[in-house]
Amino acid sequence: MEFIDLKLAEYAENHTSPETEILSRLNRDTYANVLMPRMLSGHIQGRILSMFSKMVRPNFILEVGTYTGYSALCLAEGLAPEGKLLTMDINEELEDRINSYFKESPFAGQIELKIGDATQIIPTIDQPVDLAFIDADKENYSVYFDMIIDKMPSGGIIIADNVLWSGKILNADEIARDEETRALHQFNEKIQTDNRVENVLMPVRDGLMVIRKK
């Protein structure tokens, strides 16, 4: 998952705006108490998500895959004054922890967490999606993209995480035998050939595919 030298990564963090106090606590809490803490977006990726959100100033943000809520809080920083963020996750075990941090945040009244199957929830959304972040089960990335893109206005942004998959995306054997690696490769190819969008694959952390609807 780490693609650059540790000292360069530290230098980058030291020259990136810091986390807020609540994000710093959530970061530590996740690493101390939750399984698979590397799933957390973390400092630099979190600041990238915040930066994109602040540039878009979205009225409605959709997040597929909440984990402990770190990325949702970063994305919420750019919401328009009356904007809303809907985040969804299949894992109900983290619901209380997530909501406790959401309630502490300045965005308590703007973030909603739904527990359930995103493929069932997304079709019920009846408003334009200005910004979306996909960081859930890799096999369904293409499904989520197809469900979201038609709900987006021109200029809408979708960001998909883990698209480099710790470098396995370059390994033909991994693509052939591993369903997640194959799904991510197919997703990357799909985006590259979709004439409705423009895209850039950023080699940040585990890879961010940034997609803008034309």
Query: pLDDT digit of tens for each residue in the chain (214 aa)?
Result: 666 788 998 999 999 999 999 999 999 999 999 999 989 999 999 999 999 999 999 999 999 999 999 999 999 999 999 999 999 999 999 999 999 999 999 999 999 999 999 999 999 999 999 999 999 999 999 999 999 999 999 999 999 999 999 999 999 999 999 999 999 999 999 999 999 999 999 999 899 999 999 9
User: Is residue 112 assigned to a domain?
Assistant: yes
Beta-bridge mates of residue 85: 61, 111
Within a domain: residue 1? Answer: no
- Please check whether residue 86 lies inside any domain of the structure: yes
- CATH code where residue 70 lies: 3.40.50.150
Range of the domain at 196: 6-213
Q: What is the tally of structural domains in the chain?
A: 1
pLDDT value of position 5: 84
Q: Is residue 107 part of a domain?
A: yes
Q: Report the pLDDT value the prediction gives residue 4, as an integer from 0 to 100.
A: 77
189 domain residue, yes or no: yes
Whether 41 is in a domain gets the answer: yes
pTM for this entry: 0.96
pLDDT at 38: 87
Structural domain contains residue 118: yes
